[in-house]
Amino acid sequence: MKNIPEFFGCQVFNDKVMRDRLPSDTYKALVETVEAGKPLELSVANVVANAMKKWAIEKGATHYTHWFQPMTGVTAEKHDSFINPDGKGNVIMKFSGKELVKGEPDASSFPSGGIRATFEARGYTAWDPSSYAFVKEGSLYIPTAFCSYTGEALDKKTPLLRSMEVLEREAIKILKLFGKDVKRVVTTIGPEQEYFIIDKEVYLKRPDLMYTGRTLFGAKPPKGQELEDQYFGQIKPRIAEYMADLDEELWKLGISAKTKHNEVAPAQHEMAPVFSTSNVASDHNQLTMEIMKKVADRHGLVCLLHEKPFAGVNGSGKHDNWSLSTDTGENLLNPGKTPFENAQFLLFLAAVIKAVDEYQDLLRISVASAGNDHRLGANEAPPAIISMFLGEELQEVLTAIENGETLEAHKKAIMDLGVSLIPKFNKDTTDRNRTSPFAFTGNKFEFRMVGSAASVAGPNTILNTIVANSLSDFYEELESSDDLIKDVMQLVKKTVKEHKRIIFNGNGYSKEWEEEAERRGLYNLKSTPEALSKMLDEKNIKLFEKFGVYTKGEMEARYEIYMENYCTVISIEALTMIDLIKKQVMPAVMDYEKTLIDLITGKQAVSVSDKMESALLEKISKLADAMYVKLEALEDAMLLVKNCKDTQETGMYYKDKVFLGMQELRAVVDELETLVAAEYWPLPTYAQMLYSVI
């Protein structure tokens, strides 16, 4: 048995290592910097860098790299060795504070949405001391933020850090009203990561999976997820070995992998870590995705993180469990034990309700991607409509508050009438509404729309900022209150009245909900281009500028980057599809047709019935013709993209013409697959992919 506590975090330059290895005044200065967000003195940075280098070399590192999260959604790194020529033909191993604190990667190839073109060609990376450095594959990794020389964020980390700061500031102000003197409020995330695992040999025969991460064709297998025998089912030995290896690798990097199980679709699984501070959780999730793929490769497997690798079975998401907690150990979304505490809880709850309703569009945008479009708003959960689920008990409490009723009438809510109308209630543990995109789950919210391949930084930047905005509005109203509890309850009542349309406790997958949501005036932004069309609305730009999370320029840049990414993904998919059909599907169909024709001719020569062969040939020929027509239509559609006038029009064109064309083409190819003999069909089938690991 391995001693987990002993090796957990062994690759991380964490608090314990820092305490052991840094002079105590350096350690103190560093901690102060992290806690107060103060800039680090270069003299301190030099000492830290030297200790880091020594430690990293002991762990086998020869290089260091600033590790950052450009807008591509994946992480970036450029490795420099520690070697430094001494002028006499020898080298010493050197790493300075300056090198630790700041880097200047050649960043011109990262997406900037035009920012760098207009300001300055280079970007720089700046050490984020609130996320620990670590050693991996012979390099010391230093988590950094990535900015342009004029300070615009070119990455996903910088806005997240900004948003955490503003939420902290606003939450502390509110807590002061309640007489609480807390120094820190941090947001926490526990991202549950879904993924598919398939056999590598099968994967290598599917160019669509290799180039686009998803299957562009594939007839439904005879067995999908109908039997529901996979969810929480026994884990197959090969997968279990993979998961054990994955856990170990993650633990070494200080990532607290906790839960693992089979998910709903065949070959689908989930891993959930113990939650941590948003920034760290976001870094860890990026690392987790990378390690998941690397470990899979060692086992002859491939880990698919795409939101919808296979049509017809569930796709993968990343449930973003989110809460706020104080340095005094209080979870601000935990219903309290006393009515007074509950007033505070209800105020934070109301802040979230108001935020989600007012900025539904931003939340939707924060999870928009070509991959995630297959889940949201398609036939799968959660729907593209943002709504909130609160659970029965909490709902009763809010309804009572709204109607000014005493809670006596509501049996389920445990009351404390001694003090006021404010209820005492238990944590609702009964929530199992899986169809809600944004559910309260006892002491946190679970935002279920995030795509499995996405960084959680974007959605959490939005979430933090919109809740900070509610709290800031609330503070203005409550600042000079002389009867806080009464006024808080009034404000909660008013907020519930104004924003209750966002609350929906029913079945989010139903057609009725779509109609009902429309009556309520909620957004139903079904695709990425539709969602993005709202991004630069005045209210959104105003919000981010008010809190300094994004400048208008950064928002415009991000809009360009997101839309361009959408178009590029669809374009690669379409080209892959066209290529695969021409090079593999068409020749296979023709081969099979030829076999049938030979057979039919032979049979006719000896006057034997060829009813089956002729009927089959007829069907295949018709479908082959249809395929050819749709293929040409798709090629034409691709050629006409250039006529689009602007970014928005291009995005909509890709969705309406190219993507739709691909779907129509796929339908024909999938039908052909069911008719062509297995030995002729060039691509592994769905059954082979989904059931390849035994």
By beta-carbon proximity to Mg ion, the closer residue of 307 and 573 is 307
Can you tell me the distance from the alpha carbon of 59 to that of 234, in angstroms, rounded to the nearest whole number? 37
By beta-carbon proximity to ligand ADP, the closer residue of 269 and 444 is 444
CB of 350 to Mg ion, least distance (A): 24
Structural contact between residues 101 and 45, judged by C-beta atoms closer than 8 angstroms: yes
The residues, any chain, with a CB within 8 Å of residue 532's CB and separated by 6 or more, are 365, 368, 559, 562, 563, 566, 648, 651
**156 is a site residue for Mg ion (CB under 5 A):** no
Structural contact between residues 306 and 371, judged by C-beta atoms closer than 8 angstroms: yes
By beta-carbon proximity to Mg ion, the closer residue of 162 and 319 is 319
By beta-carbon proximity to ligand ADP, the closer residue of 4 and 274 is 274
CB of 437 to Mg ion, least distance (A): 12
**Pairing mode, strands 139-148 and 63-68:** parallel
Burial class (CB within 10 angstroms; exposed 0-12, middle 13-18, buried 19+) of 87: exposed
E strand intervals along 1-46: 12-13
Joined together, the tokens standing for residue 489 give 């309850």
Please give the torsion angle defined by the CA atoms of residues 675, 265, 361 and 354, in that order, rounded to the nearest 10 degrees. Answer: 150
By beta-carbon proximity to ligand ADP, the closer residue of 235 and 597 is 235
Binding partner of 188, given ligand ADP, Mg ion, none, CB within 5-8 angstroms per partner class = ligand ADP
CB of 174 to ligand ADP, least distance (A): 18
Joined together, the tokens standing for residue 18 give 């820092």
Position of minimal CB gap to Mg ion? 319
By beta-carbon proximity to ligand ADP, the closer residue of 233 and 602 is 233
Joined together, the tokens standing for residue 316 give 């993968």
Binding partner of 323, given ligand ADP, Mg ion, none, CB within 5-8 angstroms per partner class = ligand ADP
Binding range to Mg ion, per CB under 5 A, among 160-168, 204-212, 314-322, 428-436: 314-322
By beta-carbon proximity to ligand ADP, the closer residue of 272 and 581 is 272
By beta-carbon proximity to ligand ADP, the closer residue of 321 and 685 is 321
By beta-carbon proximity to ligand ADP, the closer residue of 190 and 451 is 190
Structural contact between residues 692 and 198, judged by C-beta atoms closer than 8 angstroms: yes
Name the nearest CA neighbour of 457 among 662, 586, 289.
Answer: 289
**375 is a site residue for Mg ion (CB under 5 A):** no
CB of 637 to ligand ADP, least distance (A): 41
Joined together, the tokens standing for residue 457 give 């930084």
Q: Is the peptide bond before 423 cis (omega within 30 degrees of 0)?
A: no
CB of 331 to ligand ADP, least distance (A): 5
CB of 509 to Mg ion, least distance (A): 17
Whole-number Cα distances in Å, 613 to 63, 194, 593, 595, 598: 65, 45, 10, 10, 10
E strand intervals along 94-220: 102-103, 123-127, 133-136, 139-148, 185-199
CB of 456 to ligand ADP, least distance (A): 11
Structural contact between residues 30 and 130, judged by C-beta atoms closer than 8 angstroms: no
Position of minimal CB gap to ligand ADP? 190
Binding partner of 273, given ligand ADP, Mg ion, none, CB within 5-8 angstroms per partner class = ligand ADP
E strand intervals along 14-100: 63-68, 76-81, 83-85, 91-93
What is the binding site for ligand ADP (CB under 6 A)?
Answer: 188-190, 192, 259, 272-275, 321-323, 331, 443-444
CB of 657 to Mg ion, least distance (A): 37
How many Cβ atoms sit within 10 Å of the Cβ of residue 511? 8
Can you tell me the distance from the alpha carbon of 607 to that of 196, in angstroms, rounded to the nearest whole number? 52
Asked whether the CA dihedral 674, 677, 678, 681 is positive or negative, the reply is negative
CB of 189 to ligand ADP, least distance (A): 6
Q: How many residues bind Mg ion, per CB under 5 A?
A: 1
**319 is a site residue for Mg ion (CB under 5 A):** yes
Binding partner of 155, given ligand ADP, Mg ion, none, CB within 5-8 angstroms per partner class = none
Cα 378 to chain centroid distance, Å, stands at 18
Can you tell me the distance from the alpha carbon of 193 to that of 336, in angstroms, rounded to the nearest whole number? 30
Q: How large is the angle between the packed helices 157-177 and 457-478, nearest 10 degrees?
A: 30
Binding partner of 259, given Mg ion, ligand ADP, none, CB within 5-8 angstroms per partner class = ligand ADP
CB of 190 to ligand ADP, least distance (A): 2
Binding partner of 190, given ligand ADP, Mg ion, none, CB within 5-8 angstroms per partner class = ligand ADP
Name the nearest CA neighbour of 574 among 645, 516, 661.
Answer: 661
CB of 458 to ligand ADP, least distance (A): 17
Binding partner of 8, given ligand ADP, Mg ion, none, CB within 5-8 angstroms per partner class = none
By beta-carbon proximity to ligand ADP, the closer residue of 8 and 275 is 275
Binding partner of 447, given ligand ADP, Mg ion, none, CB within 5-8 angstroms per partner class = none
By beta-carbon proximity to ligand ADP, the closer residue of 443 and 490 is 443
CB of 441 to Mg ion, least distance (A): 7
Residues forming contacts to Mg ion in the complex (CB under 5 A) are 319
